[in-house]
């Protein structure tokens, strides 16, 4: 079956440093990828997405990189802040109209 996984279940970074959260996907037919942030007690919040015709997309303090050769997706957060502490999910569409989610990586930001 399809699967989306994350290399690191927990990532601890110092405030001000850059964070990189990685995601491996298994379906080479996926052409859409999305990152969500979920804070404690809240629903997933859209961060950034990317289509397979791109390898990089930037938002405000966030960058998503897509490497289709090795089926790898990453989320880079610049100048990580305490408010960035959350669980981050990647998802792929498997070339369908449904999203397939990973289990998530917890980002902890310490002073």
Partner 1 sequence: ETGVTQTPRHLVMGMTNKKSLKCEQHLGHNAMYWYKQSAKKPLELMFVYNFKEQTENNSVPSRFSPECPNSSHLFLHLHTLQPEDSALYLCASSQDAAQETQYFGPGTRLLVL
Q: Which stretch binds partner 1 (CB under 8 A): 19-27, 34-42, 59-67, 76-84?
A: 34-42
Q: How far apart are CA 86 and CA 66, in angstroms?
A: 22
Q: Establish if 97 lies at the interface with partner 1 (CB under 8 A).
A: yes
**CA trace torsion 12, 65, 61, 49 (10° rounding):** -110
Candidates 20, 22, 26, 32; binder of partner 1 (CB under 8 A) is 32
Contact pattern from residue 45 through residue 84 relative to partner 1, giving x for each residue in contact according to CB under 8 A and a dash for the rest: xx--x-----------------------------------
In the complex, least distance from residue 18 CB atom to partner 1, rounded to whole angstroms: 26
CA distance 95 to 26: 12
Which CB, 106 or 110, lies closer to partner 1? 106
Residue span binding partner 1 (CB under 8 A) among the ranges 10-18, 28-36, 54-62, 67-75: 28-36
Continuous segment of H or E residues that includes residue 51 = strand 45-51
**CB neighbours of 81 closer than 8 A, spacing ≥ 6?**
15, 109
Q: How many CA atoms lie within 13 A of 93 on its CB side?
A: 12
Q: Which residues bind partner 1 (CB under 8 A)?
A: 4, 32, 34, 36, 41-46, 49, 89, 93, 97-104
């Amino acid at each position: 079956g399809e699967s989306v996984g994350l290399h690191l279940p927990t990532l601890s970074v110092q405030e001000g440093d850059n964070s990189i959260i990685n995601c491996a996907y298994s379906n080479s037919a996926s052409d859409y990828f999305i990152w969500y942030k979920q804070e404690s007690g809240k629903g997933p919040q859209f961060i950034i997405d990317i289509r397979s015709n791109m390898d990089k997309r930037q938002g405000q303090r966030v960058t998503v990189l897509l490497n289709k050769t090795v089926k790898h997706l990453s989320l880079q957060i610049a100048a990580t802040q305490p408010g960035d502490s959350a669980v981050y999910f990647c998802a792929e569409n498997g070339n369908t109209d449904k999203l397939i989610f990973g289990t998530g990586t917890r980002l902890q930001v310490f002073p």
